[in-house]
Every structure is written in structure tokens, then in C-alpha cells.
Amino acid sequence: MYNLLKGKKGLIFGALNDKSLAWKVAERAYEEGAEFVLTNTPVSMRFGEIHELAKKCNTIVVPADATSVKDLENLIDKTMEHFGGKIDFILHSVAMSLNVRKGRTYDNLDYNFLGKTLDISAISFHKLLQVAKKKDAINEWGSVVALSYVAAQKTLYRYNDMADAKAMLESIARSFGYIYGREKKIRVNTISQSPTMTTAGSGVKGIDGLMDFTERMSPLGNANADEFANFCITLFSDLTKKITMQNLFHDGGFSSMGMSLRAMTMYNQALDNPIEPESYDE
Amino acid sequence: MYNLLKGKKGLIFGALNDKSLAWKVAERAYEEGAEFVLTNTPVSMRFGEIHELAKKCNTIVVPADATSVKDLENLIDKTMEHFGGKIDFILHSVAMSLNVRKGRTYDNLDYNFLGKTLDISAISFHKLLQVAKKKDAINEWGSVVALSYVAAQKTLYRYNDMADAKAMLESIARSFGYIYGREKKIRVNTISQSPTMTTAGSGVKGIDGLMDFTERMSPLGNANADEFANFCITLFSDLTKKITMQNLFHDGGFSSMGMSLRAMTMYNQALDNPIEPESYDE
Amino acid sequence: MYNLLKGKKGLIFGALNDKSLAWKVAERAYEEGAEFVLTNTPVSMRFGEIHELAKKCNTIVVPADATSVKDLENLIDKTMEHFGGKIDFILHSVAMSLNVRKGRTYDNLDYNFLGKTLDISAISFHKLLQVAKKKDAINEWGSVVALSYVAAQKTLYRYNDMADAKAMLESIARSFGYIYGREKKIRVNTISQSPTMTTAGSGVKGIDGLMDFTERMSPLGNANADEFANFCITLFSDLTKKITMQNLFHDGGFSSMGMSLRAMTMYNQALDNPIEPESYDE
Amino acid sequence: MYNLLKGKKGLIFGALNDKSLAWKVAERAYEEGAEFVLTNTPVSMRFGEIHELAKKCNTIVVPADATSVKDLENLIDKTMEHFGGKIDFILHSVAMSLNVRKGRTYDNLDYNFLGKTLDISAISFHKLLQVAKKKDAINEWGSVVALSYVAAQKTLYRYNDMADAKAMLESIARSFGYIYGREKKIRVNTISQSPTMTTAGSGVKGIDGLMDFTERMSPLGNANADEFANFCITLFSDLTKKITMQNLFHDGGFSSMGMSLRAMTMYNQALDNPIEPESYDE
């Protein structure tokens, strides 16, 4: 709508279906004049929806397991081939915890699963940046964004080992942001987004109650996927060149709230009838 | 019980009655072998309870309006006279908002009241430090502590202009902590305490609901006044000499929580029957 | 260039001359299709440069002392008259410390000066928001931005009572952001900008050394006024609707740095010849 | 000296030699009346110094690889056998990066090494907590402390993947602190310590320059190992029962400093002769 990304080339991870944050970013980036390559794991492509998106955005899909340096090397090569040169932006929206999926509580983690959580949700971001830098794949003043969540700072029950992965992800953004900034003028940031009803989000047990709470805590309400995409576009644009190594809260104000009148009004209903959790086995 | 403050001399602001945080600190400091002078505003002394405390702790009370440099000068002089020398620790537990008391909402502040809120709750801390430094009243490696609240970082409805005052108070602790540290090796910190059922706390509308929420959010529950006193003693002791310019959360974990199972269980009761605040006039 | 602010109306404080951050924001907002009213104190207008800017941007100037509720009421009235309706964005770039100007050190503050520092640099922001809200002057999803500095979080010698004012300013942005968000969907944020060679900045003693240090610490270097303006535009646009109550670092990465190789290389030169400050009287 | 830990039983990781933070903690804990078991990796014991410490403190050493759940299980079993019951405190002071040791820069990480860095420096803490909880090894109101560093928040060149490990370590302290707090009233915190001339510290290239800088930035100077031990004792004592899920800066004020006069005075010497790093290969 504004041509904010006119002439820019990018790479977008994590568009599973039209509820995905990455899907919305792709649509908006396309509207703003960007060209980009889409990627996701081979497994997540089996439903084929990403190809619809690719068609719509007039682009290609390159499958890659984000934990495989080899796959990432191939992805970057293919992307640079596609464009005949370097790119300007990357969105990393990749996360998964087998401990969460398999119902392991945080005091009963499977350490192989934890290793995978970290590899998929945090280390993959380092691998991507390292491969991109080695291949000199990003233009000066390029922009890299990864998706985070407030659990990196504050503990939310059930978020489990993903909290630790997000804390590490944000640290990687700072650590690599320093290196990539000083040498190539490339910025690296994370967006800490409201809980969102993506396919991933809707699989989280108890997400309804949490989203009601965060909605009522946040003066502007939860941020949705369309709004995420809009904000993401500004971070890819030339208007935010000096923002780097930051974790930016895009959450309707939630991260700065201690208690709102709306949430307290709901909570107070329960005061006459205090109840305890049935168990901690979750 | 441990003689942690044996031989130490101090000055304690804000002991109104036996529910006060400062009262508990005085009792514990006395047990730990400290001597100290008590002070409060002339007005708050009219009920006379502070004199009971003074008797119990075998000490004197020097009235002072903490917003008056003259009163503070007199207080420091009298305190040094009393001890025949310098002191080792100070507790600043002084705060008041006329906007809160008079029911002015945050979008309808009286700016004279705001000036008083800042003067009483934040600037008084600077005045105290400045007077103490000018009179060279504190021994090397002395320790100064002021009472803060998480509202300095996160907005809690109804906490009103006290939030801004606490943010400023914590900034003063940093700013003066730098100066006092480099020149006199004196440390300056704030403790961010759980909401507590002091006389001040119990006057806050809706404090019950909030305290139930923070109790259930905090894995260790709210910290009470006795526990505050214990922690405060460690900060006055020789065991924490290199901690300065910090805001230390003493809150059972609340400040690091996003959502607990216990609080969510309560909140979820209300999901079937969502209600809205009757008005925002508060 | 992008029409990002097409149709938007605003109000801009603090354009003194063409080095001012606010001046650059005005120029960029104009380029992006916005209309706005300019304001500054009567005193700062005596050099007349703001009128050049007004001409260039085809607008008017309404003088106002930002500490005067009456002036702010008049300003808002005039602004709404000018547009025949509500506005969409406000930039608050107003700060001054007489303690700094008069060379008072932080342990020798004049408390009248401190009162003025707070009134000009922090409370003025509350007054502006309160007046705007009472007059219902801002459209839904409007955006208000104030200028802050990292001194709100970290102590920098010589920044003096401005640090406390900025801490309070950021707190006001949160406190009022909650109220204005829940009732009118208006967002309130602060931008924490690199030290900048504005007229205000260049008056700070020792700014050269500090700017060299922050330049070498920041992987992307210091952010300048043009870059500030670009970022500010994104916050006024419709692309950042769910960002509120935030302090956003626009500083080339400085705020996330502990030590860079470039800064350390400079510092290490001095290791063979360690020197101490001549005095702390500053 | 105060009997602060009288009757308390503990477990201390990481005492390599008399420069180690953990060594000092052991000595101080012993002085304060605690009993404890010492542990370290079999490899680090080959110089035998830990046995001197054990003798001095009248205790035993149980070798354990902190990354091995089996070793940790054996360690906890042996410790509980030794005491005939549960313990009250644990110190985790375990960290190592092969990427740092082998001179791999952060944009050229070996991912096997990174896996080890995380396993040794962060995941070992989770494993320890999980094993301890499963074996119900810690008494109610027990205290667990791990050693962190400011690199978890701010990037310091050369600190490399240890920064990400420390960020994750602090997240684990929060995540497990929630679980262990709500179910067993056990608190979990990290101490973020000044750079210290331990055997580990002295191996870091360029540590001299950095320590000079942090010494001059910190109003109270760097915190040393003895001071660390003192602070650690307070966290193991009954005086800090409601502090949990926190990262506590014990650093002479460094973490709250933006720029000190002393550090700037040194830095300014280099302004006339600006130099650049010879290379970024470090």
C-alpha cells in the first residue's frame, strides 16, 4: 500500500497456513513491493498450503530443515540464485517443543527433547545468521527479525522449555546483532508478540483463558497476525535502520502492565469462591 | 539473633505503627545489635505509637518532615549528636499521594498534589542523601535503602501518580548511588516489596483482590513485613558491600511471573461469565 | 516518499532549529503527507527559525509554555480549530535542566531547579496528555511519542537530574498509555535516542568524548536526527497500532552493549597511563 | 562469624582452587556453621586441590559430571546419605565454552561445541534441579544459587556463546524457580557477578582491559570473590526467604552505569589518537 519494501528482496521462514504470522508477513511484504523466497520444513509442507501462498506472491518455495546447516546453505544459495544477488530481509518464525507436545512437565523434561527445542527454536536462528554471513548473503542495512514471546522474561506456566529457548533466541539476536552490525551494518531484532491464534498457538492447552487474560490486561487488546505483519514491514523498511539488538514488544501494552481494571474485575468474581488447581501435572 | 548489625548505627524513617515495614525493620535491627534513631513526620506521631517503639529499642525519636531540607539537616545533626559520630545505614520508607487519597484519577490529576506526591515520595530521598552527604554523616561502606514497588516498571490501575514517583525514586537511587559510591563507598538501593497490609496498604481500594492475585501469582506467596525486615537487615550488613544502584525484588517471585497455574485457575472461573468494569472513574 | 502519514494531522513540540530532532520529524512528516501544527515556548521562538519551518511545511505556529495547562488548553483548542477536528499524532520533545545549565552537581541540587526540570521535562508530558484527553483531541488509534534517553535506565555522569526526569517521563508514558489505550485506543511511547548533536546536545560538557564512545560501542553507530525522524514516522503510521507503553531504543544497538571491540581498543590505549579525574566537581 | 547457616546442609559445585568463587563460598559457609558436600568434575579434580578444601571444611568430595543425569543422581544420593537427610542450599558455579577455548569466533561457531557450552553451562543447572526435585532432596525454604554474568543482558565482545548460555541459565532459574517455589517453597536465583580473576576468568583474552574498565565504571569497584561469598551466604540464609526467580547484580554498580567520570577520563586520553581494531578475528 505504501511501497515501503519496493525493490527489497527477502526470505521468509515459517508460513504454514493462512493463520501463520509468517503467512501474513509474506502477504503484506508482497503488497509493499517486496520479492521473497518462502521456506519451511519438508514435513510442514505436506499439506501444500505454502504453495498457494507462493503462487499468490509469485515466488518459489525452497524446503529446508532450519536445524540443518547443509539445508540452510542450500537455501541461501538457491535464494541468491533466484534473485541473482543478495537479499535485504529475513523473517525467522520457527519454534517447536517436543516436551510441550508430549506433555512432559518442566520438572520432568526429556533432555533429548530439550536439545531439539533449543536446536529448532533458537540455535536454528544462529545457524541461519552464520550461514548468511559466511555467504555474504545480506545487503548492507539489511534487517533480520525473529519471533519471540514474553515468556523469555516472565514465566508462564505450561510454556515450559520454550521459555528458555526464547530467552536464548533473544540473546542470539543481541550477540549476532553486534557482530553483523559492526561488520555489515545489518540489524537483528526480535518481536515479542501477543499470544496469537495460529495453528501452533491453538494447540496450547488453556490458550483460551490466557488470551482472555492478556486481552483484558492489554489496554489495546492482543495484537493479531495482521498487525504483526504491519509492524514487521516497518522493521524491514529503510525507516528503522538504527534499531538493532532489541526485543520489541508488539502486544497491545501487555508487557508493561501489572494489573488492569478489566482483568481485575474478571478475577474478582472468583474471590468469593477460591479454588485451587486440581493438580500440577501439567 | 545473628548480631549481623552489631556496632552499627542507623536512622529509620516511616515507622507509623506495628504494621509498618519500618517498624519491623527497627525491631529486627535492634535484635541484630544495631542502634538507630527513629523519625517520622510530626503529624504521623500524634498517635504516639512510635514512642513505644523507641522505648522498646532504647532510642529516641526525632520528628522531621522529609520534604524539608531544614528538618533533614536538624535530623542528621541530632542523629550524629546522639551517636557522637557517623551512622552506617538509613531506611527511607516514605510515600504519599494526595491524588490517590482524594480520589483523583490519573487522567484528572491535580498538579499541586502531584508536586507533593513527588516531593514526599521521591525528592525527599534525594534531599536526605544530599543532606547526609554534605554533613558527611555516613561511614564508608554504609548502606541506604528505600522502599519501592513494582509499579515503577509495570502499570497497576489505581496506583496512579505513585507509579511515577516510584520510578523517580529508583532513578534517584541509581543517580545518587553513583555519586555516593565513587566518593564515599556508600551503597544505595531500593527494595521492591510485595503489596503489604500496612496501614498505608490497607487504605488502597481493591487491595484485597490485588493481594489475592499476587499471592497466587507468586510461587512463594506475597512477602510480608517480617520477611521484608529480614531482607533489609542483610542489605544493612557487611555481607552485601558491593550491591548498589539496584532495585531488588522481594516479592515471592511475582516480578518474574507472567501467569501461574493458581492465578489462572481462579481467573478461568470468570470465563463463562465475562463482566466489564462498571466505570473507569477510579 | 511513501505517503505513510497521508491524511494524518498532528502536533509537534520542540523544533528549535534545523538541528532539532523535532525539526527533522516535521520535515519528514510533511514529506509523508501529514499536516501538523508546530509549537514551542515563546522564548525559544525569538530567533524566528521555527517560522521558516512553518512556511516550508505550510502550517502555523502556536506558542505554548508546555508547563502551563492554560497554554496547553489554548494550544489544543487552536490546533483543533486549525484542522476543524481531532488530530492523530503528537511529538513531545521538550526537556531542560537548570541544574545542568547552572553547573550544580547532582549532590548539590537546587530544589527549585529540580522542580522546574521535572515540570518541563516530564510533567509537561502528563499535562499535555491530560489536556488532550479532556478535550478529546486525538482520534482513535492515534499515536503520541516523547523523546527519552538511556539515562533513564543507566547512570551517566553529568546527566544529572535529567536522568530522574527521563525515568519519570517513561513512567508517565506507561501510566497514561494504559488509560488512553483502554479508553480511546491511543498509544503512548517514548523513543530512547542516541546522544545527538542538537543545539541542546552540543551544550553538554564532554559530549564529544561520550559520542565517540557511544559511536564505537554501537555496532551501527549513533543514530542521527534524520534516522530518528524516520523511525518516528513509523510510530505515527498505521503500521504500529499495537505498540504502546514502550520505551523503544533507537541507538544503533548501544543499549544492548556491554563492551565492543572498537571501544575497548580505544580504552586500552590508556591502560599504560592510567589517570584519574581532576575533580568530581562536575 | 554470625552463625547465619548454623544447622544448614548444602552442596557446592565448582571449587577448582582457592581463586574459585565456589571455594570462597565453601570457606565462608563453613565459617557460618554450614555443612556441605563438595563436587566437581573428575577431570578438574586431578590437581587435588579440592581435597585440601574438603579437609579444611571437614567434608567429603563426590565427583560428578554436571551434564550427566546419572552422575547427578549418584551425587544427590551420596549427599543425602552423607547427611542422613535433605539439604538446604546448592551453589551451581559451572560453565565452559569450547568455542571460546578453541578460538572460534561467534560467527564461526562449531555447533557441537555450542551444544556442549549449553549442556555444561545451562542445562546442567536444569538437570541438577530436576534430579534434586525428583529425589525430594531439598528442605522447604531451601535456596539454590547459580553464577551468572551481565553478558546475559548486554553483549560483550569475545564472551561469545557463553552469553547465550547465561541468558538460558537465568531463564532456567526463573522457569524452575516457579515450579520449585509453588510446590516445595524452594527459591532459585542467579548472581550476576563482576568479572573476577578466577582461573577461568584469567584465561579470557583481554580480561585485564575489561576489568580496568568495569573497575572504573563501577562506583564501588569490581566485586571480588570474598565479597561474592558473603553475598551468597545471605541468599542461603533464612533472611531472604521470599527472593526467588531473580538475577541479582553483585557488581559494584556496573550494571546500572552508562558512563562514569573515571572511565570517561581514561577513554578521553585516546580521543586525540583514534585507533581501530587490527581485525575482528577474535
- The minimum CA-CA distance between C191 and chain A, rounded to whole Å, is 11
In a domain, D194, yes or no: yes
Q: Which of A7-11, A273-277, C236-240, C244-248 has the lowest mean pLDDT?
A: A273-277
Cβ pair A6, A35 in contact under 8 A: no
Cβ pair B50, B61 in contact under 8 A: yes
pLDDT in tens, C121-156: 999 999 999 999 999 999 999 999 999 999 999 999
Per-residue pLDDT for C51 more than 60? yes
A237 Cα distance to chain centroid: 18
In a domain, C279, yes or no: no
**What distance in Å separates the CA atoms of residue A268 and residue B9, rounded to the nearest whole number?**
45
- What confidence category does residue D266 fall into, taking pLDDT thresholds of 50, 70 and 90? very high
Q: Provide the pLDDT for residue A280.
A: 77
Q: Is B180 on the interface with C (CB under 8 A)?
A: yes
In a domain, B113, yes or no: yes
Pairwise CB contact (< 8 Å): C245 & A253:
yes
- What confidence category does residue C282 fall into, taking pLDDT thresholds of 50, 70 and 90? low
**What distance in Å separates the CA atoms of residue B26 and residue B36, rounded to the nearest whole number?**
8
Query: Rounded to a whole number, what is the distance in angstroms from the first to the last CA of chain D?
Result: 45
Q: Provide the pLDDT for residue D281.
A: 65
**What distance in Å separates the CA atoms of residue D251 and residue D61, rounded to the nearest whole number?**
30
In a domain, B150, yes or no: yes
Cβ pair A214, C195 in contact under 8 A: no
For chain C, what is the mean pLDDT? Answer: 95
Q: At what angle do helices D124-134 and D69-83 cross, to 10 degrees?
A: 50
**What distance in Å separates the CA atoms of residue D192 and residue D170, rounded to the nearest whole number?**
10
Per-residue pLDDT for D122 more than 80? yes
Nearest CA in chain A to C225: A242
The model scores a pTM over 0.95? yes
Pairwise CB contact (< 8 Å): C155 & D258:
yes
Pairwise CB contact (< 8 Å): D107 & A134:
yes
Considering only residues B202 and D42, tell me which one the structure prediction assigns the higher pLDDT: D42
pLDDT in tens, B84-128: 999 999 999 999 999 999 999 999 999 999 999 999 999 999 999
In a domain, A16, yes or no: yes
Q: Is C151 on the interface with D (CB under 8 A)?
A: yes
Q: At what angle do helices D161-184 and D124-134 cross, to 10 degrees?
A: 20
Cβ pair B143, B235 in contact under 8 A: yes
In a domain, A211, yes or no: yes
Q: Provide the pLDDT for residue B281.
A: 65
**What distance in Å separates the CA atoms of residue B250 and residue B190, rounded to the nearest whole number?**
10
Pairwise CB contact (< 8 Å): D168 & A163:
no
**What distance in Å separates the CA atoms of residue D277 and residue D257, rounded to the nearest whole number?**
25
Per-residue pLDDT for C281 more than 90? no
Task: Give me the CATH number covering residue D105.
Answer: 3.40.50.720
- What confidence category does residue C179 fall into, taking pLDDT thresholds of 50, 70 and 90? very high
Q: Provide the pLDDT for residue D47.
A: 76
Share of chain A above pLDDT 70, in %: 99
Residue C76 CB partners (closer than 8 Å, separation 6+) = C11, C131, C132, C135, C137
CA neighbor of C191 nearest in space, from C132, C135, C108, C251:
C251
Residues of chain C contacting residue D154, judged by C-beta atoms under 8 Å apart = 256-258
Q: Provide the pLDDT for residue D45.
A: 85
Per-residue pLDDT for C203 more than 90? no
Return the H-helix or E-strand segment holding C9: strand C9-13
Q: Provide the pLDDT for residue D13.
A: 98
Q: Provide the pLDDT for residue B45.
A: 85
DSSP state of C68: -
Most A CBs within 10 Å, among D170, D174, D189, D244, to test the A interface: D174
Per-residue pLDDT for D199 more than 80? no
Per-residue pLDDT for B199 more than 90? no
**What distance in Å separates the CA atoms of residue C213 and residue C11, rounded to the nearest whole number?**
34
Per-residue pLDDT for D4 more than 70? yes
- Please give the single-letter amino acid code of residue A195: P
Q: Provide the pLDDT for residue B227.
A: 98
Cβ pair A225, A208 in contact under 8 A: no
Per-residue pLDDT for D282 more than 60? no
Per-residue pLDDT for C174 more than 70? yes
Pairwise CB contact (< 8 Å): A164 & D183:
no
Q: How many C-beta atoms surround the C-beta of residue D176 within 10 A?
A: 26
- A77-114 burial: b if 16+ Cβ within 10 Å, else e: ebbbebbeebbbbbbbbbbbbbbbeeebebbebebebb
Per-residue pLDDT for C160 more than 70? yes
Write out the DSSP string of A76-99: HHHHHHHHTS-EEEEEE-----HH
In a domain, A152, yes or no: yes
ipTM above 0.95, yes or no: yes
- Tell me whether residue B200 is exposed, middle or buried, using C-beta atoms within 10 angstroms of its C-beta: 0 to 12, 13 to 18, 19 or more: middle
Supply φ then ψ for residue C148, to 5 degrees: -125, -170
Instruction: Measure CB to CB from residue B175 to each of C134, C163, C168 and give the nearest one.
Output: C163
- What confidence category does residue B1 fall into, taking pLDDT thresholds of 50, 70 and 90? confident
Cβ pair C19, C226 in contact under 8 A: no
- The minimum CA-CA distance between D42 and chain B, rounded to whole Å, is 32
Per-residue pLDDT for C216 more than 60? yes
Neighboring chains of D (3 or more beta-carbon pairs < 8 A) = A, B, C
Q: How many C-beta atoms surround the C-beta of residue B52 within 10 A?
A: 13
When divided into structural domains, chain A yields a total of 1
What is the pairing mode between strands C138-148 and C187-193?
A: parallel
Query: Rounded to a whole number, what is the distance in angstroms from the first to the last CA of chain B?
Result: 45
Q: Which of A214-228, B251-265, C38-52, C241-255 has the lowest mean pLDDT?
A: C38-52
- B77-105 burial: b if 16+ Cβ within 10 Å, else e: ebbbebbeebbbbbbbbbbbbbbbeeebe
Q: Provide the pLDDT for residue D44.
A: 85
pLDDT in tens, A110-128: 999 999 999 999 999 999 9
Q: Which of A68-72, B179-183, B271-275, C22-26 has the lowest mean pLDDT?
A: B271-275
Cβ pair D193, D18 in contact under 8 A: no
Q: Provide the pLDDT for residue C95.
A: 96
Q: Is A276 on the interface with D (CB under 8 A)?
A: no
Containing domain of residue A66, as a range? 9-272
Nearest CA in chain C to A186: C220
In a domain, B3, yes or no: no
Per-residue 3-state assignment (H helix, E strand, C coil) for B219-247: CCCCCCHHHHHHHHHHHHCHHHCCCCCCE
Per-residue pLDDT for A108 more than 80? yes
Q: Provide the pLDDT for residue D198.
A: 80
Q: Which of A145-149, B42-46, C94-98, D175-179 has the lowest mean pLDDT?
A: B42-46
Q: Is D213 on the interface with C (CB under 8 A)?
A: yes
**What distance in Å separates the CA atoms of residue D28 and residue D59, rounded to the nearest whole number?**
14
Nearest CA in chain B to A261: B157
Q: Is C230 on the interface with A (CB under 8 A)?
A: yes
Per-residue pLDDT for A48 more than 80? no
Cβ pair C104, B179 in contact under 8 A: no
Give the torsion through C-alpha atoms of D39, D40, D46, D47, to 10 deg. -80
Residues of chain B contacting residue C172, judged by C-beta atoms under 8 Å apart = 164
